[in-house]
Every structure is written in structure tokens, then in C-alpha cells.
Amino acid sequence: MPGRKRSAPIDNPSPRTIRATRSSARRTAAKNDNDVIPDVVKEMVVEVRKAKQAAAENEDTPTEPPRKRKRPGEKPAKPSKENDAGNDGNDEEIEFEDVPIPAPTIQTMVRDTDDEEDDDDDDDDIQFEDVNINGAQANTRYEGPKTLDLDLTAYMASLAPKKGDRRKALGREEKDRRIETHKVHLLCLLAHVELRNRWCNDPEVQDALRPLLSRKTVGFLRPRASLNQFSRTESLRRGISEAKEVFRTRFEITERGLQRALWAENLDQLKDYKPPPDAETTRNKADFLKAAQTLRGSRDVGAQLFCALLRSVGVEARLVCSLQPLACVAGAPAMPKPSSKTTPKAKQPSKAEQYLAAVAKHETKFTPTTPGTIPRSRLGHPDATSYQIPSLLAPSPSTPPPLPTPKTQVKKIKGESPFPICWVEILDHAHQKYHPVDPLVTFSQFNPKVYEPPSSDLLNSLTYAVAFNPDSSCLDVTRRYAKAYNSKTRRWRIDGLVSSRNGLKGERWLRAALRRYQPPSVTDLLQIELNELKAAELKEPMPRNVMDFRDHPVYALERHLRRNEVLVPGAQVSGTCGGGGLERIYRRRDVKVARTRERWFRLGRVVKGGEVPVKVLPKMKRKKKGRLGDGDDDEEGEQGAGNPVFIESQTEVYVPPPVVGGRVPRNRFGNVDVYVPSMVPRGGVHLPHERARRAAFVLGIDAAPALTGFEFRGRQGTAVLRGVVVAAEYKGAMEAVIQGLEDMEVEEEQERKTRMLLAVWRRMLKGLRIRERIMDGVDEEAEAEAEARKQEDKGKAKEVDMPDFDDTATPFHDDEDEDSAGRGGFFPSTNLDSDDEGGGGGFMVEEEEEEGGGFVIE
DNA sequence: GGGAGAGAAA
DNA sequence: AAGCGTTCTCTCCC
């Protein structure tokens, strides 16, 4: 397979390794397909552990990572064994406490394919596709890992290139590593949230929480269906408000929750890195239950418990988490610089803290005001729910008064983002709509606008907000919360990496990754929500600056068009932007890719007659690089006599000349171009078999080699010929002959192997005879030994050393009975002396394991 | 602090 | 017989 090899970066995992990992992941998945999520994570953990050890040995960093946290006053953190009883044993071998470690050598089962063929890309999806997990199924069998430690920063960070180290920063492998790491982290986070979400269903947990709510509140939370739509929503609103209030006053934030992972820029940042001492200690379901009983924990756990609380009284509640993976793109903020050595421990106010201090002043802004939005009642319009009417119209009577910062103010962990990482969405049955509720950080409800932190927030970035349903299915609801999904948020996401190289791979990867949490079916409710999210995306205002137009899915600027992109002739201007001059804004859908005639032909299309090129690409001069900057106008046709390019509407499907009289028309190279199936000439058939050409020769029919593409290996491209095109009527005959040829080949191969084997045997016997002669003729053992050693040393030299023995060995067949008696008489009739060379013997040993191995003359 | 332009690397 | 532009980072400027 010539196409499989690719030059791997030296210190990167070789494709082979990755493939091995992947296939093993797949195997594991196939074994018990319900456990895939854990398996994936487990495998990663194993990888990561290995990497950790390797790293620990390389660096002089302490072998024991600083992440072993002990719960104060408890036995050393170890997953409680009693919990493990019900699970299959080996799941428990892995403690997830020290999950994520370094990652320089991390190999994920998820590979970002680059310049490889398309079929290879499909493989990437398969690993997800053949995994069909519905939460319900998964629930029944697997408890899940105990927990995941998601503070990857310290370990992953060594991957970050130093800023300013241009050479390193630009490296392709560095970029790929980031992407890989991002993916791994994302998978981890998803698994983590999914697990927490499952814990929210736990009856014990729910029982512990349920008493928090008064009957009255529960009554509000479960409005009678007989009420009208508006009243039901109002009832729910009120119930949520009360529940939120109760929970807020009762729950105490004692630990630090998840926060954004940041890259380090140098190893110093890692050397002194300690996980925050107050980091969350909830490790397993027992801890979670305990948190439910004591109502203490991180704010994330708080949000999760709030979710469990609502579920406990029958509210359809989702657990939403804004995942905080390490960024996949360069330019992301990095870990704050380690403070000067004077105060290594006492943190001087970092950027994040400065930001927090600044934000603290305005915190009232985020505390609940009147609910910002009230959905208008409009059944029957799927996207009606997206419409929000200003709240001032209806400050409903049931809305609680603006919260007067109760005396039991929630204790905050110093230095946490003023925006939540976890929150809850509750289903408003009356309007078939989900509303966010955040009981602990912003205290808001029904207002999705307050969840997105500014981009300067180092501790929280709204990039992937995923909402988990009770059945463990999830939905990416980022667009509900992001104010500029298309212009900003997208860029930080794996599916927003648009470039000629990445194409849509990131998108496909994410889809595949989320597929395992896919809802079992698209219900009306889900459809409404999808419409709503789509609408939110479309409603997004136009970017205000030029940069945000780049790769924008809706808008496009002429200046950002790629070399091979043009605007369709009648492109509408949808606005202007830009600082000094006005720059026209077009719709992305009016941007078309233009190709040369040859490129179109490779897609099976030809330019229609009389079409004038939409643009002429100036030919690039290799040496004159400085010149190309000024090619700003597309009508550049001067002196280069560039390549004319056309857009698709200027082309039509190529209809190749038909096969007539069994004769296949060819191009001037004697081939027939079959880049796409439609290019097979009428009356012909493409047989993409490597032996097809020979078969046609055997049959004596006309067959044109099929040119299916080009391979760009090294400097120049070479044609790829796959099979032949023959007249359709010969199809059956061809197939038969091909089959015959294959059979013959198999037979030949068999025979060849047999012959090789026989040669080996023969040689061995010959050796035995030689040895026998020697032993016969020599009395003294010493001499015999010397002889034997001699032969051993240079087995090949025996002919030279002992020509007489060789001679005697030649009439070998005479004595054949004697030799063959022991091991079956299958000596060939043909004389195989010719390949009796040292080299021949050597390589055959590899081919034939058992018999061949023993023969070497000893 | 962020946006725009330009140079350099692969 | 078919690959030579993108993208990252720095600097300047508002």
C-alpha cells in the first residue's frame, strides 16, 4: 500500500502506533459495546500513565505527581472498594484520580488525519459509529469510572510552544498535538459530565435532596396540565425561583470547581505547579451522595445536585456544562507566568485575578434581575420559542423580588470565574422549551444571556456547552449561550477550525464524538430546540470588525476570498464594513470555488462552450515572491498568461465518447479518464481490478487502463491507474477470467511456498549427511567438534572448505528413502540446487516458522 | 487591549 | 502528464 506511509514527525507517534491504538480501541469497543465510553477513557488513562512514567523518568520532576490529593481527614484517596462490588473487575483497576498526565507522548485513539485519502477519514468515524450507546443502556451495565480528574493543565502544558519561539510555534506537529490534546480533553470532559449527570439520577442522592423542597414549591414546579400555557410557565418559573432560593441558601460552596485549562509556555510554569489546594474532592458516587447530604462542595457539584433535586420532584432537568478543554488553536491564553521567586507560594494577583477583581465590582450586573425574557405563547410555530419579548412588558407577579443578597450569602471561592461552568436547564412543557437556571453563580433563571464570560476570562470560556438529558443523551447548546457563535466562539472549537488542511474534519470528528451521546430519536421537542438553536445562529449580528468576517459561515469579504474563490456575478451586497473605506459584505453562499478546466475535468465536468473565465489566476513565479502581494484584482491577466478558471455553473457533466464495437475510446495517453464514475463511457464498464488488464489480454479484447487519479508523492504527480475499462458486454467474461487468474495465482503461490520449503528440507538433510560423513571419518571427538564449530562459524563456506563432501552430497536422491523415512517423503522431482545459497536459506527461515527454523546447519 | 497590516515559515 | 498560498506572529496604531 503505497499510500499508507507518510512521513511522520520524528518524535510524534508514528501512524502505525496510532493505528494500533485505534484498532485496539475498536476491539475493546466491540467486545462490550455498552462500555465504550469508559473503555475509551480507560485506554487513555493507560496511555497517559505510561507517558507519565516516561516523563517522570526523563525529567527530574518528582515521580509522584502533585495531584494526589487527600481529602482532609480521610483515608488516602482511593476509590472506595465497596462501591466496586457490582462492576466487572477490571474496570476498577484504574483509579481515575491521577488520570491525566503529561501528554507529550499521548496517543489518542482519535487521530486527526491529514493529507490522507478520504477512505482513511471514514475510519475515523467508524470508531464512533459502530459504537451505539444510549444512555439508558449504558446505565444498566456500567457504573462508570469513579471520577475524572480534569485538571489537565499541569501535564498537558508541556506541549505548549514557547511564545516567540517562532520556529517551534509554527510547527505542524505542534499544531497537531494541540488538536489531539484538545480532543482527548474533550472526550474526558464529556465522559466526566455524563457521569455526573448519571449520578444525578441516583435515587439515594435524590432522596437526600428531595426534602429541601416544600410541597408548595413542588406544586409550582409541577403545574397541572389543566392550567393554560401561560400559567403553567409562570408556575414553573415561580417554583424554580423558590427551589433556587432554597438551594442557594442551603448549599455551601467549599471547593473549587472545574476551570479552564490553560497551556503553559515553559516548563518553569509546570515545575511549581500545584493543583489548587481547594480543588473539588468529589471522586465517586459516595462522595457525591455525601455532598448531597451535607450540601457542601464545589459550585459544579452544587449545580449537579440542583439538577438532581429538580429531577427528584419530576422536573425534566438537564445538566449543562460548559466544557473547558485545552485550546486547540494557537493564540489561546496561557497559564499566568510564575510569579517571581520571592513569593512562589503566595500568588501575586495574576491576570485572572485582576480580571476577577475588576469584575467583582460589577457583579451586581450578573445577579438576578427580573427575568430577562419571557417566551411568548405561540404554539404551532416551531421556532416561535426563539422569539423573546422584552421583559419590561411583563414583570410577572410571581417573579420573586430582586434578590437582596441574602445574609446567608453564598460563600465564594476566591478567584473563580463569575460565570458558571455547570448549570441546569429545565423543560417548560407548556412551551416546549428549555430554560437555563443557575442557582449558585449568577442566580439567574430563564435568561441564557448571562452565561458567556468575556474572552478575557482566563478561568472560563464558553466554547462547548453541552446539555445532558437524564437518559445520558446530550445536545450541544453552545449557540443558545454564545453571543457571537459564528464570529467568535466557532474559532475556538474543533469544528470551527477552517482551513484548507483541516477542511471539515473537525466538524466530522465532533459529530462523531457526540454521536455516542446521541438522543435515540429526534422528537418534536428536540426538533423545536434544534430549530431554535439554528435560529439563534442566524440571528447573530453581523461582525463589527474585519477579522471576524474571515471564515464566517454566513458572510464573506472579498479580501478574504481564497485564490480559487470568486463571487458569483450577481452577488448581493449585504452591507458594508471596515474602518476607513467601506468594504462590501457578501453572503458566503455567493462565494464559489473556481477551478481550471483541468480541475473540473478531474471532477467529471467540462466547461460549457462560450463561457468566459470568471477570473484568470496569475501564474506564480517561484523565485519572485515579493511580487505576488499586489495581485489584488481578479482581472489580472497580464504578461503571466495565467490560468483561466470557471465556476461550477459554467460547467456541465462530461459525457465521454461511447464504446462502439467493443472499442474503448482513449485519451492521448492511451488511457481512459475515470476520475468519477460518471466518466465511464457509455457502453463500457470499469473493472477496477489489478488483474483486469491481464484478463483482457487473455481474452484478447480491447481494454483501456482506467486513470482514476494522481498521486502527489514527492515533487511530481504520478498517474494512478486502477483496472481497465472494457465494453460492457465483456463484463461477465472478464470477471470470470479475473477470478481464474486469481485462483491460479493462489495456486502458484502455494506451489512456490512448497518448493521453498522443500529446498529448506533438502538443505538440511544435505547438512546432516555432511555431518554424518564427517563424524564417520574422524575418530577423535575433538576434531569433530572443531569441524562442527567451523561449520557453525561459516555455514555458507562449506562448499569452499569441503568440496569433496559436497560432491558426495550431490547424489542425494539415491539415499532419499533413508532420510525421508522420518519426515514424510515429499522431495521434489526437480533439482533445486540453484537456489542453494546462503541468502536464500536465510530469508526463508522467516517465512516458514517451525520447520525452517531448525534446519540451519549446526 | 484588540484590530489591522505585513513579513516569514513551511 | 497535475500542487507553490496559507497562516502564524510581530508590530504598529487606535
DSSP sequence for A291-306: HHHHTEEEHHHHHHHH
Whether any strand C atom is under 7 angstroms from the Cβ of A115: the reply reads: yes
Whether any strand C atom is under 7 angstroms from the Cβ of A597: the reply reads: no
- Interacting residues of A671 by C-beta distance below 8 A, sequence separation 6+: A704, A705, A706, A707, A719, A721
Any idea which nucleotide's C1' is nearest the CA of A330?
C8
| Closest to A37 (Cα-Cα) out of A244, A162, A186 | A186
3-state DSSP assignment of residue A713 = strand
What is the predicted pLDDT for the residue at A268?
67
| Other CB atoms within 10 Å distance of the CB of residue A799 | 13
3-state DSSP assignment of residue A567 = strand
Burial of A131 (0-12, 13-18, 19+ CB in 10 A): buried
Nearest residue for C5, CA–C1':
A563
* Residues 155-194, chain A, CB closer than 7 Å to nucleic strand C: 161, 163-164, 166, 169-170, 175
What is the predicted pLDDT for the residue at A5?
35
3-state DSSP assignment of residue A128 = helix
CA distance A792 to A798: 10
| Other CB atoms within 10 Å distance of the CB of residue A551 | 17
* Residues 753-792, chain A, CB closer than 7 Å to nucleic strand B: none
B10 C1' to A167 CA distance, Å: 10
CA distance A808 to A791: 17
Whether any strand B atom is under 7 angstroms from the Cβ of A351: the reply reads: yes
Nearest residue for C8, CA–C1':
A170
What is the enclosing helix (H) or strand (E) of A651? strand A651-653
| Closest to A458 (Cα-Cα) out of A624, A334, A611 | A334
Provide the terminal-to-terminal Cα distance of chain A, rounded to the nearest Å: 39
Burial of A403 (0-12, 13-18, 19+ CB in 10 A): middle
| Closest to A108 (Cα-Cα) out of A156, A62, A161 | A156
pLDDT tens-digit readout, A275-306: 778 888 888 899 999 999 999 999 999 999 99
CA distance A98 to A52: 10
| Closest to A457 (Cα-Cα) out of A536, A350, A348, A545 | A350
C14 C1' to A650 CA distance, Å: 45
B7 C1' to A630 CA distance, Å: 14
Contact A275, A69 (CB under 8 A): yes
C3 C1' to A175 CA distance, Å: 22
Number of H helices and E strands in chain A, helices first, is 26, 23
Strand B bases with any atom < 7 A from protein Cβ: 1-5, 7-10
Q: In terms of C-beta distances under 8 Å and separation of at least 24 residues, what long-range contacts does A363-370 make, across chains too?
A: A363/A418, A366/A418, A366/A419, A366/A441, A366/A442, A366/A444, A366/A450, A367/A403, A367/A405, A367/A442, A367/A443, A367/A444, A368/A402, A368/A403, A368/A442, A368/A443, A368/A444, A368/A445, A369/A402, A370/A395, A370/A399, A370/A402
- Interacting residues of A502 by C-beta distance below 8 A, sequence separation 6+: none
Contact A390, A464 (CB under 8 A): no
| Sequence-ordered alpha helix ranges (H) in A32-108 | 36-58
| Other CB atoms within 10 Å distance of the CB of residue A96 | 24
Any idea which nucleotide's C1' is nearest the CA of A564?
C5
**Got the DSSP string for A456-490?**
T-SS---SEEEEE-TTS-EEE-HHHH-TTTTTTGG
Quick one: cell of A819? 532420510
| Sequence-ordered alpha helix ranges (H) in A200-295 | 203-209, 215-221, 229-250, 267-271, 285-294
* Residues 326-355, chain A, CB closer than 7 Å to nucleic strand C: 329-331
What is the predicted pLDDT for the residue at A813?
41
Report the DSSP pairing between strands A422-428 and A433-437.
Answer: antiparallel
B8 C1' to A176 CA distance, Å: 21
Contact A726, A703 (CB under 8 A): yes
User: How far is the CA of A728 from the CAs of A99, A179, A671, A723, A734, in angstroms?
Assistant: 60, 48, 17, 14, 10
A357 CA to centre of own chain: 37
DSSP assignment letter at A216: H
DSSP assignment letter at A542: P
**Adjacent-strand bridge partners of A334:** A263
| Closest to A376 (Cα-Cα) out of A355, A353, A393 | A393
What is the predicted pLDDT for the residue at A789?
73
Quick one: cell of A272? 511549581
CA distance A9 to A153: 24
Q: At what angle do helices A731-777 and A781-793 cross, to 10 degrees?
A: 150
- Interacting residues of A589 by C-beta distance below 8 A, sequence separation 6+: none
Across the beta sheet with A716-727, the strand order is A672-673, A703-713, A716-727, A684-687
Strand C bases with any atom < 7 A from protein Cβ: 1-10
* Residues 61-80, chain A, CB closer than 7 Å to nucleic strand C: none
Whether any strand B atom is under 7 angstroms from the Cβ of A171: the reply reads: yes
CA distance A736 to A747: 17
| Closest to A617 (Cα-Cα) out of A588, A643, A656, A595 | A643
Any idea which nucleotide's C1' is nearest the CA of A170?
C8
What is the enclosing helix (H) or strand (E) of A565? strand A565-567
B10 C1' to A514 CA distance, Å: 34
* Residues 699-728, chain A, CB closer than 7 Å to nucleic strand C: 707, 710, 712, 715-717, 719
- Interacting residues of A504 by C-beta distance below 8 A, sequence separation 6+: none
B6 C1' to A625 CA distance, Å: 14
Q: At what angle do helices A118-129 and A505-515 cross, to 10 degrees?
A: 20
Residue for cell digits 434578590?
Answer: A403
B2 C1' to A368 CA distance, Å: 30
3-state DSSP assignment of residue A74 = coil
B10 C1' to A599 CA distance, Å: 25
* Residues 566-585, chain A, CB closer than 7 Å to nucleic strand B: 578-579
User: How far is the CA of A540 from the CAs of A376, A496, A536, A709, A749, in angstroms?
Assistant: 20, 16, 6, 42, 66
Whether any strand B atom is under 7 angstroms from the Cβ of A589: the reply reads: no
What is the predicted pLDDT for the residue at A539?
87
User: How far is the CA of A318 from the CAs of A460, A467, A468, in angstroms?
Assistant: 20, 6, 5
Whether any strand B atom is under 7 angstroms from the Cβ of A167: the reply reads: yes
Whether any strand B atom is under 7 angstroms from the Cβ of A545: the reply reads: yes
Contact A141, A35 (CB under 8 A): yes
What is the predicted pLDDT for the residue at A553?
85
- Nearest 5°: phi and psi at A782? -55, -45
> One-letter amino acid identity for A81?
K
Whether any strand B atom is under 7 angstroms from the Cβ of A526: the reply reads: no
Cα dihedral A580/A584/A589/A592 (nearest 10): -90
Contact A320, A470 (CB under 8 A): no
State the sign of the Cα–Cα–Cα–Cα dihedral A197, A203, A204, A206: positive
User: How far is the CA of A735 from the CAs of A432, A671, A726, A745, A748, in angstroms?
Assistant: 58, 20, 11, 15, 20
Q: What domains can you pick out in chain A, each with its CATH number? A: 15-69+87-337+351-389+400-539 (3.90.260.10), 547-592 (2.20.20.110), 594-619+636-653 (3.30.60), 658-858 (no CATH)
Low-confidence residues of chain A: pLDDT under 50: 1-149, 154-170, 340-351, 361-408, 621-640, 796-858
What is the predicted pLDDT for the residue at A109?
26
Quick one: cell of A767? 547438512
Contact A215, A245 (CB under 8 A): no
